[in-house]
Amino acid sequence: MKRYRWTRLEPEPTLVLALSEAINVSSPIAAALLNRGISSFEEARRFFRPSLDEIPSPFLFNDMKRAVARLSKAIAGGEKIMVYGDYDVDGTTGTAMLSLFLRELGADVCHYINDRFTEGYGLSTSGIAWAFEQKVSLIVTVDCGIRAIDEVQVCAAQGIDVIVCDHHEAGELPAACAILDPKVEGSGYPFRELCGCGVALKFIQAMVEARGESPAAWRKYLDFVAVATAADMVSLQGENRAYLREGLELMRRSPRVSFQAMAANMKVNLADFSMMNITYGIAPRINAAGRMESAGAAMQWMLASDEPEARVHAAELEALNGRRREIDAEITLRAETMVAGHCASHCSSIVLYDEAWHLGVLGIVASKLLDKYFLPTVVMGRMNGLIKGSVRSVDQLNIYDVLHECRDHLEQFGGHHQAAGLTLRPENLEAFRRRFDEVCRELLPVEERQKSLLIDAELALDEITPKFLKVLEQFSPFGFANREPLFVVTACRLAGKPKLLRERHVKFTVRGERGSSFEVIAFDRPDLFTDLESCGTAANLHLVCIPERNQWNGREYVQLRLKDLAVDLVD
């Protein structure tokens, strides 16, 4: 019945009591805050009420003054400016945002997004050639460029300056006109975890401040930054938390025509828009463009100037996303049939390859396999004689470090802590597969290959009050570095019979020692149904869950969203 490892976080009781009294919250809430590094009234205030007035100045970037001066000169002189972005959500939203801003300033601006399949990631030869043909004299990159050492030299030889707006790790730096990347050593900027679109926003903010304009002139782009921040799995702490919260509020209050059209296709009311609607709604539709064809459709949608145009391009993205879902479902089914045979020889990782697989959906398939098997996963296809693929990893393992250990078998690789991409020659596949599994075996102990649930505190059912829920809701938005709080409820029993919904979900009611009762929903846990039926109402249940408000058929009620369950059976 119990599927996961339960890891109970236990902050110092005296600190829990002190914080509980300082901010007037219950002990479980105080424990959850301490588990997130929040130990004082002021830290709690910044967490619950992130303010744009408290974010760092963009001019803390050492190169920001140089970047502002060069861009201002280009605008004033009527130079042709190119915004050069990556093809994912982060790159396309940042490219659209910066393009719209420059248009408003009267700049002569164009944009370029690489083709995922023919050009790959980063500044490409064809992109630079097109910039030269268009008589571009300044390129501003978004979500790429920090490793483009040779490409920036080529640009310089052709009289093109480059300003890099990126957020990836770097080694040797390109000889760019200015580099804005918080992960570059000595960048000067105190917050490392901006996404690429977020870095572009800091550039816009600096331009606005240099021109003496109102903060409203840059804050109106926070909807783009919210989408990119949610989609790119960056840390939801610090200023990212402020951007996401304010950006969501902007989308609810004053949505641009592109988001209105997309929300209509998603059948979502923008007034209730949430991070989940970005993560599982908008982001996959934007990515579908680059995955299935080119990112051009996503760019046209984001740059649409009126509702009819926005609706046309939103419909295109909807169709592309439908095709993407069909293809990734087919590949996932095939991949799952291959896992057993693969794991017979390689038990510390999953590395699958089929030359017919569509490269655009491999990251999605890898994520699904990771969720199911909780092993570092590589899924690969073939293009132009080379094997290309996507890599996904568990939290405990930095997949970039693993690939670095496998570099002798790879032509190219890059990425983040939990997600990466790679290219290798077919003749190196088996050697890579062996080495990848060896490194994963060394760095990921067997005991860590079961997903762990981090439990913030024990919670009694009668502690779930309206005030508790109101404070708990303010922990959102959730994501990387700000997980949903989890609580364990121990003193409760089954009340009545469980129900199996759509052969997938289980719903039941529990009652506590003092009479409090709540409905419980366990999504995608059909295995619990027969166990609950057999244990009856006498057994004591231990629930790892998230209390939340829910609405259904016009009724609002509190439910416990179950993550895992254990039972003390009664003889």
Band (pLDDT 50/70/90 cuts) for residue 86 is: very high
- Joined tokens for residue 510: 């529990």
Q: For residue 226, how many other CB atoms are within 10 A of its CB?
A: 28
Q: From 3.40.50.720, 3.60.21.10, 3.10.310.30, 3.40.50.300, which CATH number describes the 345-448 domain? A: 3.10.310.30
CA distance 287 to 295: 8
- Joined tokens for residue 440: 């994963």
Band (pLDDT 50/70/90 cuts) for residue 318 is: very high
What is the 8-class DSSP label of residue 506? E
Per-residue pLDDT reduced to its tens digit, 17-56: 999 999 999 999 999 999 999 999 999 999 999 999 999 9
- The SS3 assignment for 543 reads strand
Per-residue pLDDT reduced to its tens digit, 95-123: 999 999 999 999 999 999 999 888 888 89
Q: 477 preceded by cis ω (within 30°)?
A: yes
Question: 479 in the Ramachandran plot: left (φ > 0), alpha (ψ -120 to 50) or beta?
Answer: left
CA distance 37 to 301: 40
CA distance 397 to 376: 8
- Please report the pLDDT score of residue 340 as a whole number: 77
Average pLDDT taken over every residue of the chain: 94
CA distance 97 to 95: 5
- Please report the pLDDT score of residue 424 as a whole number: 97
- Please report the pLDDT score of residue 346 as a whole number: 67
Per-residue pLDDT reduced to its tens digit, 127-142: 999 999 999 999 999 9
- The SS3 assignment for 424 reads strand
Question: Which fold does the domain 456-568 belong to in CATH?
Answer: OB fold (Dihydrolipoamide Acetyltransferase, E2P) (2.40.50)
| Residue from 81, 94, 91, 176 nearest 134 by CA | 81
Band (pLDDT 50/70/90 cuts) for residue 332 is: very high
Q: Residue 571 pLDDT > 70, yes or no?
A: no
Query: To which H or E segment does residue 388 belong?
Result: strand 386-392
- Please report the pLDDT score of residue 570 as a whole number: 57
Average pLDDT rounded to a whole number, residues 145-153: 96
Percent of the chain predicted with pLDDT > 70: 99
Per-residue pLDDT reduced to its tens digit, 254-310: 999 999 999 999 999 999 899 999 999 999 999 999 999 999 999 999 999 999 999
> Given this chain, do its domains 345-448 and 456-568 carry the same CATH topology?
no
Per-residue pLDDT reduced to its tens digit, 213-265: 999 999 999 999 999 999 988 999 999 999 999 999 999 999 999 999 999 99
C-alpha triplet 15, 241, 551: angle, nearest 5°:
90
- Joined tokens for residue 188: 């000067």
Average pLDDT rounded to a whole number, residues 413-419: 82
- In terms of CATH architecture, what is 54-224? Alpha-Beta Complex (3.90)
- Please report the pLDDT score of residue 95 as a whole number: 98
Q: Residue 65 pLDDT > 90, yes or no?
A: yes
- The SS3 assignment for 324 reads helix
Q: Where are the domains of the chain?
A: 54-224, 345-448, 456-568
